[in-house]
């Protein structure tokens, strides 16, 4: 029987007692509403094959292959394979793979004109310690802004690219490295909840549109300090068979990047965009 536990007052819920392969529409709708309310939803204790993971993921929206073609699953390009091939030929650790997602708080897909609605991971191999994924609320970040900052960003767009100002594009193929920036409102209303969030990613933002470079950089630096608010974080400690989906429209995340390199931390990942259903 379905049991749902809220993990913190603002972010995170864990669902247990169900098999996502045999789930009614009514049960799925309960999960979906919980996800909207909690930003991050964990469904624990699953045993999935690749097609089953995809089928469940597609209930949330349309699967969009990640732009990092080199890390797509060899048997299924819709799925990214995280955590494999992390050692170079000379035995050194490939930090781009080991530390993927750990360089700072971010949201997935801001570099697309239609950003990712959600990201979903399935825990295939989990290390003995470390390797958590951390989440924080964009709603709380916006609510914490002083009125002067809320007014300053209202109606203002950020320009986002995959590598941001650092041009960190090591995981992209050469032909994908010069994509035109995507423009998104910094104070963005969630299309399903109607709540306002600070839609922001310091690692992918190039500039704030309409501001001189120094002023843009200063505003980016100031907004970065508001991203993670006390009481609005959830740190997920993985178990094998966990499915974790987060809402990129209202939550930031980062990998802890602290697990033993000699151990496996492998996930299947899908990027989800809006579909006609939601």
Q: What is the mean pLDDT of residues 225-237?
A: 97
5 pLDDT band (50/70/90 cuts)? very high
Closest by CA position to 17, among listed 29, 6, 27, 7: 27
DSSP code, position 69: G
pLDDT at 172: 44
Lookup: tokens for 81:
């394979």
Helix/strand/coil for 164: helix
Domain boundaries, the chain: 3-147+230-273
Residue 179, classified by CB atoms within 10 Å of its CB into exposed (0-12), middle (13-18) or buried (19+), is: middle
Helix (H) or strand (E) holding 51: helix 50-57
The pTM for the full model equals: 0.92
The reply to whether CATH 3.60.130.10 applies to domain 3-147+230-273 is yes
Q: Which residue has the higher pLDDT, 68 or 126?
A: 126
Q: What is the pLDDT of residues 167-213, one digit of tens each?
A: 544 544 455 456 788 999 999 999 999 999 999 999 999 999 999 99
* Residues 105 and 133 sit within 8 Å (Cβ to Cβ): no
Q: Is the pLDDT of residue 261 over 60?
A: yes
Beta bridge partners of 207: 159
Residue 241, classified by CB atoms within 10 Å of its CB into exposed (0-12), middle (13-18) or buried (19+), is: middle
Helix (H) or strand (E) holding 248: none
pLDDT at 247: 98
CA 82/CA 271 separation, integer angstroms = 13
Q: Is the pLDDT of residue 221 over 80?
A: yes
pLDDT at 173: 46
* Residues 113 and 259 sit within 8 Å (Cβ to Cβ): no
Q: What is the pLDDT of residues 63-80, one digit of tens each?
A: 988 767 777 888 888 999
């Amino acid at each position: 029987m379905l049991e749902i536990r809220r993990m913190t007052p603002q972010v995170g819920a864990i669902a247990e007692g169900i098999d996502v392969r045999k789930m009614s529409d009514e049960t799925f709708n309960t999960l979906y509403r919980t996800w909207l309310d909690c930003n991050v939803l964990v469904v624990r204790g699953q045993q999935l094959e690749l097609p089953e993971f995809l089928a469940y993921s597609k209930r949330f929206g349309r699967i969009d292959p990640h732009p990092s073609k080199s890390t797509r699953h060899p048997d299924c390009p819709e799925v990214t394979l995280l955590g494999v091939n992390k050692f170079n030929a000379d035995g050194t650790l490939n930090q781009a793979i080991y530390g993927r997602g750990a360089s700072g708080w971010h949201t997935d897909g801001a570099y697309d004109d239609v950003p990712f609605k959600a990201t979903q991971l399935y825990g295939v191999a989990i290390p003995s310690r470390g390797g958590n994924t951390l989440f924080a609320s964009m709603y709380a970040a916006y609510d914490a802004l002083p009125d002067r900052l809320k007014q300053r960003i209202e109606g203002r767009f950020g320009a986002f690219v995959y590598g941001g100002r650092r041009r960190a594009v090591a995981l992209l193929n050469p032909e994908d490295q010069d994509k035109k920036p995507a423009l998104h409102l910094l104070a963005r209303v969630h299309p399903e909840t109607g709540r306002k969030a600070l839609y922001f990613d310091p690692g992918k933002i190039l500039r704030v549109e309409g501001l001189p470079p120094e002023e843009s950089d200063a505003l980016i630096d100031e907004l970065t300090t508001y991203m993670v608010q006390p009481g609005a974080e959830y740190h997920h400690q993985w178990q094998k068979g966990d499915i974790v989906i987060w809402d990129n429209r209202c939550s930031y995340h980062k990998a802890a990047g602290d697990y033993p390199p000699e151990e496996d931390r492998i996930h299947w990942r899908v990027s989800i965009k809006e579909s006609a259903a939601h």
